[in-house]
Amino acid sequence: MKALLRWLALVLLAGLALQLFFVARIALMAVLDPESTAFQRSEAYRVAVEKGSLKWRQHWMSYDELPDHLKRAVIASEDASFIEHDGVDIEALEKAWGKNSRAEQRAEQIAAQSARFGNKLAPARLAKPPKIVGGSTITQQLAKNLFLSGERTLLRKGQELVLTLLLEALLDKQRILEIYLNSVEWGEGVFGAEAAAQHYYRKPAVKLSAYEAARLAVMLPRPRYFETRPNSGYLASRASTITARMGGIELP
């Protein structure tokens, strides 16, 4: 029994030490730009294993240097309540939960119909998985990219929540958005706003039009997918919608 209690105490101390480490790292980010994120390092390793090397494109821009068009576009597309919430948007999570539940129900209905009619439904319909909507805020995405792996477990989601609250407590909204826009992936080896602008439009980020900024914002959930599909009809349509919404977005 004593051995078990000792083991539990060690686990708790290790967990506390890890959280204190995260506190120190985030506090430093108030004045120091992160050299890389956990996601960037994992991507570099993945590409190195699969292709031998990764051409890393990233150029840091201060908050004031980042174009307002892109700030508004990303907020409009990814997290419209960014300046209002404390890191977690409960309403967005509830909407995402409802959409995912309906998607799963539709998938179950298709599977039941397939079994009933002996798999005679169209193959494309059978193979299409339900679309999962995340509902994560910009701060949650930043917490995950900065520190965590891509695995989906309750423990990792719990740690993501703790990191999200720490980011909101120790950094202001401008700094959170600045780090996010400078480190988020916009294609294979393309990280941050300046690299994205140069990669897709061959121009500095400050010269992006509102529509170009909106297209980049729409790419964020699936940047490597849209990188290979620049003429996507969805991308163009959604970018037009985001462009129309940008005028009503308040910046931090």
Q: What is the CATH number of the domain that holds 142?
A: 1.10.3810.10
Model confidence pLDDT, tens digit, residues 13-32: 888 888 888 899 999 999 99
- Report how far apart, in Å, the C-alpha atoms of 104 and of each of 108, 131, 228 are: 6, 8, 28
In the prediction, which pLDDT does 104 show? 53
* Torsion sign (Cα): 59, 64, 70, 74: positive
Task: Please check whether residue 186 lies inside any domain of the structure.
Answer: yes
Task: Please check whether residue 94 lies inside any domain of the structure.
Answer: no
Instruction: Provide the domain count of the chain.
Output: 1
pTM to 2 decimal places? 0.82
- Domain of 35 in residue numbering reads as 2-89+135-248
Task: Please check whether residue 124 lies inside any domain of the structure.
Answer: no
Nearest CA-CA partner of 67 in 211, 165, 168, 172 = 211
Q: What secondary structure, in 3-state letters, does the chain show?
A: CHHHHHHHHHHHHHHHHHHHHHHHHHHHCCCCCCCCCHHHHHHHHHHHHHHCCCCCECCCCCCCCCCHHHHHHHHHHHCCCCCCCCCCCHHHHHHHHHHHHHHHHHHHHHHHHHHHCCCCCCHHHHHCCCCCCCCCCHHHHHHHHHHCCCCCCHHHHHHHHHHHHHHHHHCCHHHHHHHHHHHCECCCCEECHHHHHHHHHCCCHHHCCHHHHHHHHHHCCCHHHHHCCCCCHHHHHHHHHHHHHHHHCCCC
Q: What are residue 190's DSSP bridge partners?
A: 57
In the prediction, which pLDDT does 48 show? 81
Cα gap 240→218, rounded to integer Å:
10
Q: What are residue 191's DSSP bridge partners?
A: 185
The amino acid at 9: A
Task: Please check whether residue 117 lies inside any domain of the structure.
Answer: no
In the prediction, which pLDDT does 55 show? 80
The low-confidence residues of the chain, meaning pLDDT below 50, are 96, 100-101, 103, 107, 123-133
Query: Contact, 132 vs 56, CB < 8 A?
Result: no
In the prediction, which pLDDT does 146 show? 95
In the prediction, which pLDDT does 129 show? 46
Model confidence pLDDT, tens digit, residues 183-212: 999 999 999 999 999 999 999 999 999 999
Task: Please check whether residue 116 lies inside any domain of the structure.
Answer: no
Nearest CA-CA partner of 181 in 134, 148, 145, 226 = 145
Task: Please check whether residue 219 lies inside any domain of the structure.
Answer: yes
Task: Please check whether residue 129 lies inside any domain of the structure.
Answer: no
In the prediction, which pLDDT does 226 show? 95
Q: How many CA atoms lie within 13 A of 42 on its CB side?
A: 12
Task: Please check whether residue 171 lies inside any domain of the structure.
Answer: yes
Q: What are residue 57's DSSP bridge partners?
A: 190
